[in-house]
Amino acid sequence: MIEYIIKDNIDDRILKRVSSLLFNGGIIAYPTDSSWSIGCSVTSVAGIERLRKIKGDFQNYTLTMICSNISQIEEVAEFNNKGFKVIKKYTPGPFVFVLPAKNKIEKKVNMKRLEIGVRIPNNPVPIKIIQTHGHPIFSITASRIIKSKGWWDNNYAEENLYECGWELEEIEGIDIILDHGESLPKLLTTVIRLNYDNIEIIREGAGNLKF
């Protein structure tokens, strides 16, 4: 089901319906500042399992948590002052930060992880969803080869991304597609591992780093 929206003025009724859907294990698709994403609520065990089926597996895959602010990142991940400055400098934006997960992460996100990817996109749609829902969203990138192991690391990964929201109707398991009527660039995020004082660029993407 496609729900057409105005990205800078989303109807509150739609946001509340999406939030209710997320609480009840729903799967949504939405635009970001790089490409289209598919997500579920971190509060929903059923939603996480449904997202796992769409992805194929979460083994050897760092799941990304979409947040609306840095405070939500602080609840689940460890980083020092240097890491905070990097995150603050590059958010919102097309960056995923891979951070050591806090011991209590399982209580927060229904999943035990040693690391967690976090992201604050520069797009009002996911931000408003999260603000209305009150919780972050686990997210995967929408791709035509979404179940292929390590597809996001190959040289042709971006060719398999989607431009328009209606194209995502071919992916089984999505309950609602929030379409703002604009095509998106076929771009992946820049992925950075922040392990306290160590900064490692895992994948170069849409985000431009300047240290």
Average pLDDT by consecutive 10-residue portion of the chain (211 residues)?
93 97 98 96 93 84 91 92 94 95 74 86 98 96 82 74 95 96 93 89 86 64
In this structure, is residue 208 part of a structural domain? no
In this structure, is residue 67 part of a structural domain? yes
**Long-range CB contacts (within 8 A, 24+) of 160-169:** 161/35, 161/36, 161/186, 161/187, 161/188, 162/35, 162/36, 162/186, 165/2, 165/29, 165/31, 165/36, 166/2, 168/29, 168/36, 168/38, 168/142, 169/2
CATH of the domain at 32: 3.90.870.10
In this structure, is residue 211 part of a structural domain? no
Q: How many domains does the chain have?
A: 1
Average pLDDT, the chain: 90
Percent of the chain with pLDDT over 90: 72
In this structure, is residue 187 part of a structural domain? yes
pLDDT of the residue at 97: 96
In this structure, is residue 70 part of a structural domain? yes
Report pTM. 0.92
In this structure, is residue 185 part of a structural domain? yes
- Residue range 46-79, pLDDT digits in tens: 999 999 999 987 777 778 999 999 999 999 899 9
Q: Which residues contact 95 (CB under 8 A, 6 or more apart)?
A: 119, 189, 190, 191, 192, 207
C-alpha 162/C-alpha 168 separation (Å) is 7
Q: Which residues lie across from 5 on neighbouring strands?
A: none
In this structure, is residue 210 part of a structural domain? no
C-alpha 79/C-alpha 140 separation (Å) is 23
Q: What range does the domain containing 113 cover?
A: 2-203
The first and second tokens of residue 202, run together, are: 């895992």
In this structure, is residue 209 part of a structural domain? no
- Report the b/e string of 187-211 with b at 16+ CB within 10 A: bbbbbbbbeeeeeeeeeebbbeeee
C-alpha 128/C-alpha 83 separation (Å) is 25
